Structure 1
Amino acid sequence: MRRLFTAGLAAGCMVVGPVPLAFPAEPAGGMPPAAGQVIIKFRDDGAAAGVLRQHGLAGGLPVGSTGAELVSVPAGSERRLIEALSRDPAVEYAEPDQPVDAATSDQYFPRQYALQNDGQSFTNAKGDITVPAGTPDADVDAVEAWNTTTGSGIKVAVLDSGVASDNPDIAPKVVARANFSGSATKAGDPVAEDYYGHGTHVAGNIAATVNNTIGVAGVCPGCTILAGKVLDDSGVGSSSSLASGIDWAVSNGAKVINMSLGVRASRTLETAVNNAWSKGVVLVAAAGNGGNQTKIYPGAYTHVIAVGATDNNDAKASFSTYGAGWVDIAAPGVNVYSTFPNHPFVLATQNNRSQGYDVGNGSSMSSAIVAGAAALAWSSHPGATNTSIRADVESTADEVPGTGTYWAYGRVNANSAVK
């Protein structure tokens, strides 16, 4: 029997020490307008081509039925051209192409830099960790992706320590439960209840409900969760429990399987992975928290997307396992805010975490974020295959420091993946 270990929230993986308290603030001026394009409406359509030629521009694309055109311009020249065009009597108006920000009512969304990084600083739930200001847009563009899809109808299997039934942000998203861990179900509890805490945090990163006024939002808030408990109440499992969980996920219609855990190589586990891939499933796993290049499985298997961890500046997390030869992509994994059980759980004691919501560290969180992005891509690409979805996720990643060295592709970009 090969023993599993989780790839996140392990004791000692905290990377941000105590610094003076600071609470999140709204970014000054909001998000910048889209670069390289402006919106122009002409008083006389017949004059449009001539006016544009005077400014070295070509014709644009119609903006719905508004009568305006979206015109490409050299990046950095937007403001100058808007001012010049606005003075032309043939132009009714010229304006920037303003970004649409999907406002959410979720209580802790301002702390979710992984989904929207405005350079904010924030504290964890207990206020004993302050996350310094990050780099604006060092995020996965989840908010922008939601303008295309929120992932409705896509099932994501979370093979982990279970998912808590008492956190209202994630429990309603669980549509099936199974227990392969050997931990007995306690009286009155549903199958795959989470007493370790890891699985609930991972699931929340994937599919926590958006705009319900509480908690956080998942990358794929329209997705549903298959909760496969393959780790027991101490966070320990085996290759056989994971292989059984993979088969169960496939038979229950998972389009994505997330495995935020690791084990030594197992032929049985590899067979289960290959079988799931042959059935059209995208598999995602954590690369691990060893801070070295040692391969862990299932992440290192050919048919699994292995995910390393970054911070809110798009830098490699100090703990993240790396190596572009087998780690495929990266995603935020440092101080990632998500759901926890509202009952006592092991990681609350081990890592001083709060019930309900708090930060987590590890490539476990990174894997979950990539799984959510893959689920969004499934939703927006009818007729896709697991091969094409994997390519969508990997090929559209943002090139960040370490790309080609720490991981083969860059940091995942959900918005680019759904296009």
Structure 2
Amino acid sequence: MKKVAIAGLAAVLLGFGAVTAAGPTNAATQPPQVTGQIIVKFRDNGAAAGVLRQHALSEGAGIGSTGAHVVKVPANQESSLIAALSRNPAVEYAEPDEVVTAATSDQYFPRQYALQNTGQSYTNTVGTLTVPAGTADADVDAVEAWSVKTGSGIKVAVLDSGVASDNPDINPKVVLRANFSTAATNEDNYGHGTHVAGIVAASSNNTIGVAGTCPGCTILAGKVLDDNGVGSTSAVVNGINWAVSNGAKVINMSIGVRASRTLETAVNNAWSKGVVLVAAAGNGGNQSKIYPGAYPNVIAVAATDNKDAKASFSTYGASWVDIAAPGVNVYSTFPNHPFVLATQNNRSFGYDVGNGTSMSSAIVAATAALAWSSHPGATNTSIRADVESTADNIPGTGTFWAHGRVNADSAVR
């Protein structure tokens, strides 16, 4: 690791989310569905064309390996057509295509308390923001883990808003890109995906920027959110399928949406192929479930701060939230070109802090990748068990989350 002088950067502590911008996921704040399309799965695909013709519709593109299809429908008729199709015995299910949103000696390594926190009384200054070291046990022992493995050879898929091509700390780690959003390109013009990817795998020992939790890992950058941080269930499902097909050992989803049978099928298919899936628990400050985090085959991650306490914004509940990780003032990469979060939340180009279970999810996904590199003969079941069973038993364990705050060093050993 490199410890170089810290340059001040202006930052405003406004969380950018792991789920919806509104945070809580009650009925009044549920994200809307995509206009003009729905998701339909038929029991017999041979009957699809005939059933759809009855409603003046035509069959659409398949979604990943789920067997479901996106069907174009007239605007404002989504709900009525879902109801009508659901009554047809040839239809296994019809559901909305929900809107998905973002859940939120290297130069700045001293700012990365989540990776190494000595507990000393240094001041970690970002502009006018002072971030104290907190307690020594509030980090995930990443530096200690690197003495065992750094994640070399492990691909982590980041399904998000893309990864900036102009940040030299994370762009070289991207080995494949794909755009499943409605944006014109796969460039990250929102900022969330670049921040998440940097937490996972930013280059280490390169004299610039930050270090990723799994600095030897590579990134599959699946853009499922557009340039305003909004996507769809079908985009996420296609991203999952793409990630599995291209060798991802871990898929990180710092995003949130309502329950979807199509999304659950994609998650289960990925799990059956041996992939570890990790997702943000949400920033609602309540116990409301969000997906894909709440699916059984996904590790749902809550957020802690630099004193190992639950972040005030973090969604929680040990019945479905599996583990916790630092998610307050997490320093990472951002684009070096104009991006939405810079405009909305005064984030700086290049590097700055982020708050949210989005950040926590990325740390856990990277820890799973480190564990894969340390246990090459493992299965996704055993890797998940390694990550969860070795977590530190901090206050809130068993109440806010099931297994504690993740410990990378323990997981790799």
Partner of 1:147: 147
Q: Deviations over 1:98-144 (max 9, x none)?
A: xxxxxxx20000000000012343122xx032213311131000000
SS of the residue aligned with 1:137? helix
Q: How far apart are the structure 2 equivalents of 1:123 and 1:344?
A: 24
Larger radius of gyration: 1
Q: How far apart are the structure 2 equivalents of 1:310 and 1:244?
A: 31
SS of the residue aligned with 1:300? coil
Q: Deviations over 1:176-220 (max 9, x none)?
A: 0000011012xxxxxx21000000000000000000000000010
Partner of 2:238: 244
Q: Deviations over 1:303-345 (max 9, x none)?
A: 0000000000000000000000000000000000000000010
**Partner AA of 1:2 in structure 2:** E
Q: Does residue 280 of structure 2 align to residue 289 of structure 1?
A: no
SS of the residue aligned with 2:288? coil
**Partner AA of 1:283 in structure 2:** L
Using the TM superposition, give the Cα deviation of residue 352 of structure 1 relative to its aligned residue in structure 2, in angstroms: 0.8
1:376 and 1:418 in contact (8 A); partners too: yes
Partner of 1:268: 262
Q: Deviations over 1:35-65 (max 9, x none)?
A: xxxxxxxxxxxxxxxxxxxxxxxxxxxxxxx
Q: Deviations over 1:229-274 (max 9, x none)?
A: 0000000011110000000000000000000010000000000000
2:196 and 2:359 in contact (8 A); partners too: yes
Q: Does residue 355 of structure 2 align to residue 353 of structure 1?
A: no
Structure 1 segments, 4+ long, off by >6 Å, are none
Alignment of 1:164-203 (within 5 A): 164-185=164-185, 192-203=186-197
Partner of 1:24: none
Q: Number of residue pairs matched?
A: 315
Partner of residue 251 from structure 2, selected from 251, 257, 268:
257
Partner of 2:53: none
SS of the residue aligned with 1:271? helix
**Partner AA of 2:159 in structure 1:** L
Q: Does residue 232 of structure 2 align to residue 230 of structure 1?
A: no
Q: How far apart are the structure 2 equivalents of 1:121 and 1:385?
A: 42
Q: How far apart are the structure 1 equivalents of 2:233 and 2:124?
A: 38
Partner of residue 416 from structure 1, selected from 407, 410, 413:
410
Q: Does residue 100 of structure 2 align to residue 4 of structure 1?
A: yes
SS of the residue aligned with 1:399? coil
Q: How far apart are the structure 1 equivalents of 2:351 and 2:404?
A: 28
Q: How far apart are the structure 2 equivalents of 1:132 and 1:214?
A: 22
SS of the residue aligned with 1:337? strand
Using the TM superposition, give the Cα deviation of residue 6 of structure 1 relative to its aligned residue in structure 2, in angstroms: 1.4
Alignment of 1:2-401 (within 5 A): 2-8=98-104, 105-119=105-119, 120-124=122-126, 127-185=127-185, 192-401=186-395
SS of the residue aligned with 1:297? coil
SS of the residue aligned with 1:2? strand
1:116 and 1:137 in contact (8 A); partners too: no
1:121 and 1:134 in contact (8 A); partners too: no
> With structure 2 as the length reference, what TM-score do the two structures score?
0.76
Structure 2, gaps ≥5 residues long: 1-96
Q: How far apart are the structure 2 equivalents of 1:320 and 1:357?
A: 23
SS of the residue aligned with 2:189? coil
2:113 and 2:133 in contact (8 A); partners too: no
SS of the residue aligned with 1:371? helix
**Partner AA of 2:359 in structure 1:** M
2:254 and 2:362 in contact (8 A); partners too: yes
Q: How far apart are the structure 1 equivalents of 2:131 and 2:230?
A: 30
Q: How far apart are the structure 2 equivalents of 1:121 and 1:2?
A: 43
Q: How far apart are the structure 1 equivalents of 2:375 and 2:349?
A: 37
Q: How far apart are the structure 1 equivalents of 2:366 and 2:108?
A: 19
Q: How far apart are the structure 2 equivalents of 1:330 and 1:296?
A: 16
SS of the residue aligned with 1:412? coil
Partner of 1:40: none
Q: How far apart are the structure 1 equivalents of 2:150 and 2:109?
A: 16
1:154 and 1:378 in contact (8 A); partners too: yes
Q: How far apart are the structure 1 equivalents of 2:327 and 2:162?
A: 20
Q: How far apart are the structure 2 equivalents of 1:353 and 1:136?
A: 28
1:6 and 1:235 in contact (8 A); partners too: yes
SS of the residue aligned with 1:218? coil
SS of the residue aligned with 2:138? coil
Aligned-residue CA RMSD in angstroms?
A: 0.7
2:107 and 2:208 in contact (8 A); partners too: yes
Partner of 2:396: 402
**Partner AA of 2:404 in structure 1:** G
Q: How far apart are the structure 2 equivalents of 1:7 and 1:408?
A: 21
